Amino acid sequence: MGRRALRKIDPSLDLSRHLLAINQLPKPWNQAVLFGREAPLEMEVGSGKGLFLAEAATLRPECNFLGIEISQRYARYCAARLVKANLQNARMLEADGQRVLAEFLPSESAAAVHVYFPDPWWKERHKKRRVMNTRSVQEIERVLVPGGTLHFWTDVEEYFETTIALIRENTRLEGPLQVAERPASHDLDFRTHFERRTRMHGETVHRAEFRKPWIMANSIC
């Protein structure tokens, strides 16, 4: 299911506070530089139009939210959404999520990582480009705090099953925990625009949650 054309962004909007480039990320990591405060951090890899990011930041002002989007035009669109909603606890980063996880996020720095409807890269020779791969799931496990969660949704059953197996084989995350589908109370009461489109077409959304154990057992020699 492809992406639809984006609406034009109001040129009068100042995106400078909400739209970040990768060279603006602090090294070593420091939330206060990005958000002006320290708070539980949730990350979304592949934010698209930013529906989840904006809704989550609105509903949970006690948390900081960092969206990561590799597409420049979608990153700008998402940042504009945050600006219009005056959300001070959310930022949009134009970058490769795998690079951010591997190079910038310290261990046990995120309360949750959200990955919703990532590009399935259908052709066999392209599947190595999938955001959910061996390295990325291991990095997600590393950056999660004990008790932190990974939320993974897709409309592609093969991708879902492959990722479940990948997580089981390469991490000690607990799961998958089932996530129930709830009825939408209004037209935009969906986690992402992709969820909305998928459900309106009567298609299945595959959902799973994984949790990092509070105590990670040491490897037995």
Q: Which of the residues are catalytic?
A: 119
Distance, in Å, from the CA atom of 58 to the CA atom of 117, rounded to the nearest integer, reads 21
> How open is the CA angle 48-22-85, to the nearest 5 degrees?
45
Do the Cβ atoms of 210 and 174 come closer than 8 Å?
A: yes
> How open is the CA angle 65-71-77, to the nearest 5 degrees?
60
Residue 31 has which token pair?
């939330």
Residue 173 has which token pair?
């995350």
Distance, in Å, from the CA atom of 148 to the CA atom of 173, rounded to the nearest integer, reads 10
Give pairs for 25-33: CB < 8 Å, separation 24+.
25/93, 25/100, 25/104, 27/104, 28/106, 29/104, 29/105, 29/106, 29/109, 31/64
3-state percent helix, strand, coil for the chain, nearest multiple of 5: 35, 20, 45
Where do the DSSP E strands lie in 155-205? 174-177
